[in-house]
Structure 1
Amino acid sequence: MTAVISEQIDGVLRLQLNEPETMNALSAGISDGLAGAARSFTTNPDLRCLLVTGSGRAFCAGGDISGMGVRPAAEMLASMEEFHLWVRLLLAAQKPIVMAVNGAAVGAGFALAMMGDVVLASPEAVFRCAFVGIGAAPDLGLARTLPRAIGYQRASDILLTNRVVRAEEAQQIGMVSRVVAAEALQEEALNTARQLAAGPTRALSLAKTMMRAGQEGSLDSFLAHEAQAQAIAFTTQDFVEGVAAFRERRAPAFRGY
């Protein structure tokens, strides 16, 4: 069985974690599949949006606890560096990422879900930190992405108490973008990813960069970054096409440059 099913659809790289018997726990096979996909997504200009979902009743149940145990610090550091090779690529990606959370997103699975720019969830989706429940620290960027999404106090409550967050609450507090009926989740997610893939790639990249800059540094540095971004955007062919389409009252045909 392929650990991660990968397919390219209209500029979308769609990944489906595919070890349902373990609730798509982050096995070596799934981690390797995510690593390869992250490299392809960030380097291939034909891939303009990434979509990640899970098989069966889970999105990703986190690390494979069956293989866990006390490990020397040097060994653990080396392991984390391997994970961070693809985590860094996804968190720094300039192109949009959509997550379709079809079920449980626990521990590392929760962290993976929070790497999305757009996070769709079915009503059956549940989120749980889980790390502190086994005496571990949050990893794969979760202690960075979650407070940025929902604020420090709410993130502290979820990360430190290890409580379950269900889909409705996740939407209310801004952890997920939309809750979509289970039977419609995959279609809605793919349609959203296709829309983003058909969009002005450079402008979307600049928007992501500005949002990140807005969370850090001074107002002056942000405004300087914003001015530079807009100067770049106005030189792109997609901008020329967007203006022409508006004037001609038609849908734009963005090419991604």
Structure 2
Amino acid sequence: MLIETKRDGRTVVVTLNDPAKRNALSPDMRAEMVAALDPVMLDRDVRAVVLVGQGNHFCAGGDLKSMKSGDPIYARTRMMITARLVRLLAAGPVPVIAAVEGAAFGAGLSLAALADINVVSRTATFGAVFGKIGLMADVGLLWALPNRIGAARAKRFLLQNTVVKADVAPNGLIDQLCEPGQALGHAMKIAASFENQAPLPLAATKSAFSQMADFDRALALEADLQGFLMASADHEEGRAAFFDKRDPVFKGA
């Protein structure tokens, strides 16, 4: 299984379980995460979800090997599943806490930014290098990152293919910094603080925040634009260059 869940009191720990690929977010993993989160978000006895990566890394981004260039139907289907995952994390009724160790690149950065609270190891690394493979930010990052660090900084972060260590990350990106190996422990303590809270105000607060900025419009734009980019020749070149370990040659096509 690419996603494992474990109940601990009123907290459910959701683990990305593909350490050999640094927990890259493949379509199968996205679908499994949606299937795991759906019943959790509907369980009135659950007060928090903790999201963690198996092994030394949180999530290294999307799984490039699973991507199909030049297939707009595949791209659109992938984005629809992704949108469902984003809605569950950002607008679902249960608080989500991310425990981040190691790499949080691309989709991994998105998951950390979407979490209501993220606990991050000082040695973790965030990266938004979508442009290097001919794509733009997705998995809700166009909505989540400006909400965390402001629109101007978010734009620079994404346009410049930024890679940054957690201890020098922009203000707002990280909620709690901790020593290496301690992110999950701290996240579980935060999750426990929700145990005796009334669930309806938690759900209402998350719903309100997801509607303050144009969440639906952001997801619609993400699906349209990323779907177009995934079908482009430049994305195919970016993927090939990544696996060939060379610099891509983009032609704007």
Q: Quote the offset at 1:184 in angstroms.
A: 2.3
Q: Secondary structure at the match of 2:182?
A: helix
User: Partner residue of 1:224?
Assistant: none
Partner of 2:105: 106
Separation (CA, whole Å) in 2 of partners of 1:75 and 1:55? 28
Which segments of 5 or more consecutive residues in structure 2 lack a partner in the other structure?
215-253
Which one-letter code corresponds to 1:146 in the other structure? L
Contact 2:31 2:81 in 1 (8 A): no
- Cα 1:27–1:213 change in 2 (3 A) is closer
**Contact kept? 1:23, 1:58, Cα under 8 Å:** yes
| CA shift in 2, pair 1:211/1:74, >3 Å | closer
- 1:197 match: 195
CA distance in structure 2 between the partners assigned to 1:213 and 1:27 by the alignment: 28
- 1:33 is displaced (CA, Å) by 2.4
Tell me what 1:207 maps to: 205
**Alpha-carbon distance between aligned partners in 2 of 1:88 and 1:209, rounded to the nearest angstrom:** 10
User: Aligned-pair distance for 1:29?
Assistant: 3.9
Residue 72 of structure 1 deviates from its aligned partner by 2.2
Asked whether the equivalents of residues 4 and 29 of structure 1 are also in contact (C-alpha less than 8 Å), the reply is no
TM-score of the two chains, using structure 1 as the length reference: 0.78
Q: CA deviation at 1:197?
A: 3.0
* Number of the residue aligned with 1:225: none
**Aligned ranges for residues 40-59 of structure 1 at < 5 Å?**
40-59=39-58
Aligned counterpart, 1:124: 123
Q: CA 1:210 to 1:32, structure 2 compared with 1: closer, same or farther past 3 Å?
A: closer
- Compute the displacement of 1:112 (Å): 1.2
Deviations 1:28-63 (A, max 9, x none): 442232111220122111222111011122100111
Aligned partner of 2:26 in structure 1 is 27
Asked whether the 8 Å contact 1:39–1:86 carries over to 2, the reply is no
Query: Conserved in 2, the CA contact under 8 Å of 1:149 and 1:175?
Result: yes
Separation in structure 1 between the aligned mates of residue 178 and residue 82 of structure 2, nearest angstrom: 30
1:162-241 to 2 correspondence within 5 Å? 162-170=161-169, 172-215=170-213
Q: Is the 8 A contact 2:3 2:29 kept in 1?
A: yes
Structure 2 CA distance, aligned partners of 1:40 and 1:181? Answer: 33
Distance 1:14 1:75, change over 3 A: same
Per-residue deviation, 1:117: 0.5
Output the amino acid matched with 1:198. Answer: N
Query: Which letter maps to 2:33?
Result: L
The match for 1:10 is 9
CA separation in 1, counterparts of 2:15 and 2:73? 32
CA drift at 1:125: 1.0
- Give the Cα separation in 2 of the matches to 1:10 and 1:198: 11
Aligned to 1:78: 77
State the aligned residue count: 214
Partner SS, residue 114 of structure 2 = coil
Larger radius of gyration: 1
SS of the residue corresponding to residue 194 of structure 2 reads helix
State how far apart, in whole Å, the 1-side matches of 2:97 and 2:197 are: 14
How far is the alpha carbon of 1:214 from its aligned partner?
A: 4.8
In structure 2, do the counterparts of structure 1 residues 214 and 87 end up closer, same or farther at CA, with 3 Å as the change threshold?
Answer: closer
SS of the residue aligned with 1:62? coil
Select between 3-12 and 191-200 the one with higher mean Cα deviation.
191-200
Q: Which has the higher contact order (CA 8 A, sep 6+)?
A: 2
Other structure's SS at 2:7 match = strand
State the Cα distance separating 1:109 from its structure 2 match.
1.1
Deviations 1:173-193 (A, max 9, x none): 110101111232221111111
**Alpha-carbon distance, 1:200 to partner:** 2.4
In structure 1, what is the Cα distance between the partners aligned to 2:49 and 2:134? Answer: 32
Among the aligned pairs, what percent are the same residue? 30
- Say if 2:89 is the partner of 1:90: yes
Q: Distance in 2 between matches of 1:204 and 1:51?
A: 15
Helix, strand or coil at the partner of 2:50: strand
* Matched position secondary structure for 1:183: coil
- Root-mean-square deviation (CA, aligned residues, Å) is 1.7
